[in-house]
Chains A and B, each alone.
Chain A
Amino acid sequence: GDSVTQMEGPVTLSEEAFLTINCTYTATGYPSLFWYVQYPGEGLQLLLKATKADDKGSNKGFEATYRKETTSFHLEKGSVQVSDSAVYFCALSADYKLSFGAGTTVTVRA
């Protein structure tokens, strides 16, 4: 079935470092792709999305491009802050529901 695989964590960075979290997907059709973020003690919230090939989703300095040729949707941020410490989930849509990756824990140190 449709699924996503994202890089395992945890990832620890210093403030202002570059962040990349890899995500690849397997799908029979043309899914929409998403990144969700979960801050400590909270539920998930949508960070960005892309609905078709070559689309770039962006929000809060984060970006991800829907690459059909490599079936990827890697998340990037050029300069992270302590407030970006969270768990990041890649997800794809299938039928009426989303399938999530295992999540990547990111810790940013001052």
Chain B
Amino acid sequence: NAGVTQTPKFRVLKTGQSMTLLCAQDMNHEYMYWYRQDPGMGLRLIHYSVGEGTTAKGEVPDGYNVSRLKKQNFLLGLESAAPSQTSVYFCASSLLGGTGGGKLFFGSGTQLSVL
């Protein structure tokens, strides 16, 4: 049972570099989410998608872009990394949206450090 898989698990970037985080789910879920987790701030929603080909902004979208070209994949891009983007990134998916059941399945996270 793969569930939600995030790659890579760890990454160190220099300021100004770009990278893409990949999230893949094998549960045929419609909804996918990217969160960042920072000490004392819990999880904050970056972007989300309610279906293939759709994306929407969350609470903290600046500096990030996303794409959902295939239902099973949700990519998070950083075009020009900044130290403020040092965080742990979690991808999640759900069969139903927040108001429809709310059970999210999370990946194990990506630890990103921007120097």
Using a CB–CB cutoff of 8 Å, the interface residues on chain A facing chain B are 31-32, 34, 36, 41-46, 49, 89, 91, 93-103
Chain B residues lying within 8 Å of A42, measured Cβ to Cβ, are: 108-109
A96, B40: Cβ atoms closer than 8 Å:
no
Contacts known (A96-B31, A101-B42, A102-B40); A44 close to B102, Cβ less than 8 A: no
B84 contacts A by Cβ under 8 Å: no
B107, A43: Cβ atoms closer than 8 Å:
yes
| B side interface size, CB within 8 A | 26
| Overall SS of chain A's interface | strand
Chain B residues lying within 8 Å of A36, measured Cβ to Cβ, are: 104
Q: Which of B13-21, B43-51, B62-70 faces chain A?
A: B43-51
Contacts known (A100-B42, A100-B43, A102-B41); A94 close to B98, Cβ less than 8 A: yes
**CA of A90 to CA of B87, assembled, Å:** 20
In the complex, the chain B residue whose C-beta lies closest to that of A1 is B59
Which of A31, A44, A103 has a CB less than 8 Å from the CB of B104?
A44
B109, A43: Cβ atoms closer than 8 Å:
yes
Query: In the complex, how many angstroms separate the beta carbon of A9 from the nearest chain B beta carbon?
Result: 10
Chain B residues lying within 8 Å of A95, measured Cβ to Cβ, are: 97-99
B99, A102: Cβ atoms closer than 8 Å:
no
B109, A32: Cβ atoms closer than 8 Å:
no
Which of B50, B101, B106 has a CB less than 8 Å from the CB of A44?
B106
